[in-house]
Structure 1
Amino acid sequence: MPTRSLMRPTAVPDRETAPRAFSSRHLLKLVEDTGKVGFWSANLESERLDASPGFHRIFGLEPATELTFSYAIDMIHPQDRAAHGDQIAVLRSGQPISREFRIIRPDRTQRWLLHHAEVIMGPDGTPSHGMGVVFDVTAQHDTMSALLQRHDRLNALIVATAAVFWVNKSNGEPSEMPQWMELTGQTHAQMQGLGWLDAVHPEDRPRTHAAWMTAVEHTAPYNTDYRVLCADGIYRWFNARGAPVLNTDGSVREWVGVCLNVPGRTRYGASGGAARAAASGNPAAGPVPGSEAITPGQIRAARAFLGLSKEDLAGLANVSISTINRLEDPNSPIRTRGETALAVRRALEKAGIEFTFEDGARTGVREAGVRT
């Protein structure tokens, strides 16, 4: 049983038992000298527990400190005590324990502990003694906390930059691209292989494909711009960047990257038949009349022409005010569903607005039935 007595000087045993005695005592000391582990044992019918020097060191106590169960429980962090203050009661009921919790040492520093303990039954079959081992796992918790912090920072950065984060397999094929699927409306099956290129503008597709295949072939960073047909039927410019994640032997484990929205660059609608025609590379098929995607400027102009507030327009279209805000913001990173944008257009047209999309001219608005 690992008790403090095992660590005290003892009389030299006889020759027959010496190797075993020295081995046990020295092994225990060797383990405890790491500073990360301590042992205890106790009669469960009493309050006093015997603890090794390593136990005292982890708890920040002087070696001569007399320990009781209550003393040890009181050192548990107040926020953890409700969940882990029952450990002695659990042992006295005959059940083993395995717990992870914080303590506050006398110098006010905090440590994370992993505690394993077993129960030894007496001759009458009731719990008699307990023995346990305590590990200082503070370093592991600090490492995990740092990793979670880095993860949270990365997620915040992606949200702040309106980025699409993607992960591809070692051969360059799509792996984890949920944000791309949300951006484009593609399904997981549709984007497999080189299917993701179907959402890239036909004029940009060959160049984008060549840039990606060159990066994969040469295990080189990837950086290119292209237009993406978004789920709302509007093409938007994105800067795509990626890099290989390498194994220790230099082989590629996976590819990671982002697609960053490029504000201020030309974007235009391609709803309904026009969107499908553009994605298929057939520009001969024009847009279906009345289904062209209206621009943020057209919505603002139409609302001003009618003297409507954002609240008024939201009520007419049966959408939220935040939806109107997104539709009127040319740099909004949040995409609006096509049917929602169409509902806003229909509401404005019903109120007397006609949207213009003449070839070679800027998009505009005018009073319905008026020709210039």
Structure 2
Amino acid sequence: MPTRSLMRVRPLSEDAPSLAPRGLSSRHFLKLVEDTGEVGFWSAGPRGDRLEASVGLIRILGLDPAAEIAIDALLDMIHPEDQSAHGDQFALLRSGQPVTREFRVVRPDRTQRWVRHRAEVLLGPDGKPAQAMGVMFDVTDCYDAMRAVRQRHDRLNALVAATAAVFWINGPDGEPREMPQWQALTGQSHADMAGEGWLDAVHPDDRARTAAAWMTAVAHAAPYNTDYRLLCADGVYRWFNARGAPMMNRDGSVREWVGVCLSVPGRNRYVPSRPEPASAAGRVGPDLPNPTAAQVRAARGMACLSKEELAKRANVSISTVVRLEDGNSAVRPRPETVTAVRRALEQSGVAFVLDAEGRPALREA
């Protein structure tokens, strides 16, 4: 057979042929393979009820090396949920059919393993099954890895569904790649989104700013975070916070971009600006006094923002937010800093107003 020549050790030189053995037993090769702990072999007669198992197979199944292995006992080790689909393997072999299956086994110590089983039948001179042999691989690690991937995928899907987020994937050059939720939200087709076509769904007043933020992020392979209004498929503009990050290759290049678009609380619809009320009661706008510490704390709670997130949106330090929320702080931020924080909260859907008695208050924008 062709493999026999591969198993023969060649002499080191013509002058010293006796220094090398004439051949190696296939048993040595099988032991080398089985020592990985992931493969085992067996053989059996066509009508026998027992099989000869290798050390590797005994290790995979967790059996007693000194005990004989009955075929029925081996079939009984198949997980109860897999019995109906895979309990026919030796019946198929006895009829001369090969088998290739993956299933779970329950070992005597009650631990479970996933195995891949491949077996076939050798025919005798009379054309009838004369010998059956098989190989079993322990593929538990592969199944554990696939289960972990599925679990992460399910968690991501649950998170996206819970937050009503739009999940998107772009290529390393920033080109839209996988954005089915964006298409469902905006009504754009994949062709519509190509290049900078996705910007057509962004409100005209937000388009230039959004494009600049995205191009800057792509150029510097830096995280992306901006707010804009999207024209949804129902014809209504709604506010979204878009954020994403590059996934890097080992060489430092960008493999792809992943991100989400999150609906901004309190700003579900774009409403054109209206004249402000002339009376103090319910008045909003920049002419109001600076927000109080209680207002800042309450506004951050209404917007569901952490101190870190508010600081990032306002482009200020976290310590600045801490001082603004501390009414007893001796250090007061500069007016432009207070304005930046207030504007960030207003963009998150919170309006600073005065109540009927002229006291600072809040309401949803």
Partner of 1:116: 118
Say whether 1:256 aligns with 2:265: no
**CA distance 1:266–1:165, shift in 2 (3 Å):** closer
Alignment map for 1:1-372 (pairs within 5 Å): 19-21=22-24, 23-265=25-267, 267-268=269-270
Contact 1:95–1:118, Cα closer than 8 Å, also in 2: yes
**TM-score, normalised with respect to structure 1:** 0.66
- In structure 2, what is the Cα distance between the partners aligned to 1:51 and 1:144? 29
Contact 1:171–1:216, Cα closer than 8 Å, also in 2: yes
**CA distance 1:18–1:125, shift in 2 (3 Å):** farther
- In structure 2, what is the Cα distance between the partners aligned to 1:86 and 1:266? 59
Instruction: Point out where structure 2 has 5 or more consecutive residues left out of the alignment.
Output: 1-17, 273-365
- In structure 1, what is the Cα distance between the partners aligned to 2:249 and 2:91? 49
Amino acid at match of 1:97: V
Q: Residue 18 of structure 1: CA displacement? A: 5.9
Partner of 2:308: none
Q: Residue 53 of structure 1: CA displacement? A: 1.0
Q: Deviations over 1:49-105 (max 9, x none)?
A: 100111111111111110121111011001101100010011111111111000001
Instruction: Point out where structure 1 has 5 or more consecutive residues left out of the alignment.
Output: 1-14, 271-372
Q: CA RMSD in A?
A: 1.9
Q: Residue 266 of structure 1: CA displacement? A: 6.0
**CA distance 1:170–1:140, shift in 2 (3 Å):** same
Contact 1:118–1:130, Cα closer than 8 Å, also in 2: yes
Amino acid at match of 1:105: R
Percent identical = 68
Amino acid at match of 1:63: P
Contact 1:233–1:269, Cα closer than 8 Å, also in 2: no
- In structure 2, what is the Cα distance between the partners aligned to 1:18 and 1:154? 59
> Aligned with 1:61: secondary structure?
coil
Q: Deviations over 1:93-128 (max 9, x none)?
A: 111111100000110000000011121001110111
Q: Deviations over 1:180-228 (max 9, x none)?
A: 1111111221111111111111111000000000011111111101111
- In structure 2, what is the Cα distance between the partners aligned to 1:146 and 1:67? 34
- In structure 2, what is the Cα distance between the partners aligned to 1:60 and 1:19? 36
**CA distance 1:266–1:28, shift in 2 (3 Å):** closer
- In structure 1, what is the Cα distance between the partners aligned to 2:209 and 2:164? 24
Amino acid at match of 2:23: R
Contact 1:199–1:228, Cα closer than 8 Å, also in 2: yes
- In structure 2, what is the Cα distance between the partners aligned to 1:221 and 1:268? 26
